[in-house]
Amino acid sequence: MTAPLDPDALAAAFTEAFRHAPEGVWHAPGRVNLIGEHTDYNDGFVLPFALAQGVSVAAAARSDGVLEVRSRQAPGDAVRAPVAGGPITAEGWPAEHAWAAYPAGVARVLAPYGTGGASLLIDSDLPRGAGLSSSAALECATALALCELSGVHVERPELARLAQRAEHEHVGVPCGLMDQAASLLCRAGSALMLDCRSGLSSHVPFAPGDAGLTLLVVDTRARHSLTAGDYAGRRAECERAAAELGVPALRDVKDLAGALASLRDPVLRRRVQHVVTENHRVEAATGLLRAGAVAELGAMLTASHLSLRDQFEISWPQADTAVEAAMRAGARGGRMVGGGFGGSAIVLAPADRAGDVREAIGAAYAKRSWEPPAFLEAAPSDGARRTR
Ligand code: GAF
């Protein structure tokens, strides 16, 4: 069987679907966030790395100002949308075309920069709703393809902001910058320390294998959707807390005890507690990685998980169970990743305990009659690029 994202196979499928060859194939990865959850839209810090898995787009320019998208994961009719136009969210797209709002939104945001219409065939080996950022991968692969087809050059940090804007304006999700930045800026063997206020980033070496460790991604099988409302709700609470505290964003809270004492709403106190401490954990984790103390990262991961569970209140039973079972089986640490309410968890374990950890998580799931989890050994990989 051909690998799902073999660029030659995707180009051949494009030729069959559109009756002419594509001009190229572009790939953008999904991401795992090592640490720094729900800090990005609070102007804080994040530390993601890119996965080997992602979204590929075979593409050719069109002269009629239309974006025509087909997906190997959504066989059926092509979705067509003019690249010029207002917010897609206001256009009453049929629900079965929801996935196509991501590439169409990117085309609309980039059109003023000089990109035009295109035919796209999309393929993905990222599970959707698994919290591994398949949406941003789709946006970023599309953005690179459209820019290159039209000879438009946008620096990658700016392109990440534009892809984020497409998601805000055309999909209706008020996401932060992390996922798009990770997909476009990450490098193999490193995590990306990103300051989401300045947009400045640096590559921090992260090679768990060299330290005798495995970073396991656990697809908990509980699905999530950022459009479901809870994500936007958490963001709104953080903004309300910042306004009550009189700071531009929660990143600016320097005196946590003072801030907690001045907030009357216990829910806002919990949200602030998470965001402020999570920013410190990102900085500490970055320091540990730079010092080569990879195993020590485990305690940070678990502290992050407990904060997301108890203060930010976005973890879910399968993630809690996976982390607890992994720790009992000898993992160094673990936590839920992504927006929350479903998706994936990560576990950092000594390589020689990884089998025990998988077994322990599987057994804990079986005891509760949950659909078995899926595992992926994550290798920090390169960001978006042309593959053909
Ligand atoms: C989702 C969002 F898209 C990100 O911007 C980020 O807020 C994350 O949830 C939580 O850290 O992936």
41 lines ligand 1 (CB under 6 A): yes
CB count, 10 Å around CB of 23?
Answer: 17
Q: Establish how many alpha carbons lie within 13 A of residue 322's alpha carbon, considering only the half-sphere containing its beta carbon.
A: 32
What is the residue-wise DSSP string for 211-245? GTEEEEEEE-S----GGGSHHHHHHHHHHHHHHHH
Assess whether pLDDT exceeds 50 at residue 2: no
Q: Which helix (H) or strand (E) holds 122?
A: strand 117-124
Which atom of ligand 1 is nearest the CA belonging to 46? 11
Q: What is the pTM of this model?
A: 0.97
Could you tell me the residue range of the domain that residue 79 belongs to? 7-204
Per-residue pLDDT tens digits for 227-242 = 666 999 999 999 999 9
Q: What are phi and psi of 306, to 5 degrees?
A: -65, -35
Number of compact structural domains in the chain: 1
pLDDT category of residue 74 using cuts at 50, 70 and 90: confident
Distance from residue 107's CA to the centre of ligand 1 (Å): 22
Distance CA 39, CA 195 (A): 10
Residue 151 in 3-state DSSP?
Answer: coil
Distance CA 343, CA 336 (A): 8
104 lines ligand 1 (CB under 6 A): no
Which of 153-172 are b and which e, b meaning 16 or more Cβ less than 10 Å from the residue's Cβ?
ebebbebbbbbbbbbebbbb
**Average pLDDT in the 93-116 region?**
95
Is 347 part of a structural domain of the chain? no
224 lines ligand 1 (CB under 6 A): no
The candidate with the shortest Cα–Cα distance to 216, out of 293, 290, 298, 317, is 298
Distance from residue 274's CA to the centre of ligand 1 (Å): 15
Distance CA 46, CA 278 (A): 9
Model ipTM value: 0.99
Per-residue pLDDT tens digits for 274-330 = 999 999 999 999 999 999 999 999 999 999 999 999 999 999 999 999 999 999 999
Distance from residue 347's CA to the centre of ligand 1 (Å): 19
Is 278 part of a structural domain of the chain? no
Which atom of ligand 1 is nearest the CA belonging to 135? 3
Q: What is the DSSP letter of 294?
A: G
37 lines ligand 1 (CB under 6 A): yes
237 lines ligand 1 (CB under 6 A): no
Distance from residue 66's CA to the centre of ligand 1 (Å): 30
Q: What angle do the packed helices 134-150 and 178-185 form, to 10 degrees? A: 60
142: CATH: 3.30.230.10
Residue 153 is predicted with a pLDDT of 98
Is 361 part of a structural domain of the chain? no
40 lines ligand 1 (CB under 6 A): yes
Residue 377 is predicted with a pLDDT of 85
Is the CA virtual torsion 208, 46, 138, 111 positive or negative?
negative
Distance CA 39, CA 308 (A): 11
Is 198 part of a structural domain of the chain? yes
**Active-site position among 40, 43, 179, 219:** 179
Residue 3 is predicted with a pLDDT of 54
Per-residue pLDDT tens digits for 63-73 = 999 999 999 99
Distance from residue 179's CA to the centre of ligand 1 (Å): 7
219 lines ligand 1 (CB under 6 A): no
Is 235 part of a structural domain of the chain? no
Which distant-in-sequence residues (6+ apart) come within 8 Å of 330 by Cβ? 349, 350, 353, 356, 357
Among protein residues, the one with the nearest Cα to ligand 1's atom 1 is: 339
Using an 8 Å Cβ cutoff, are 13 and 121 in contact? yes
Active site residue 64: no
The candidate with the shortest Cα–Cα distance to 45, out of 273, 269, 255, 198, is 198
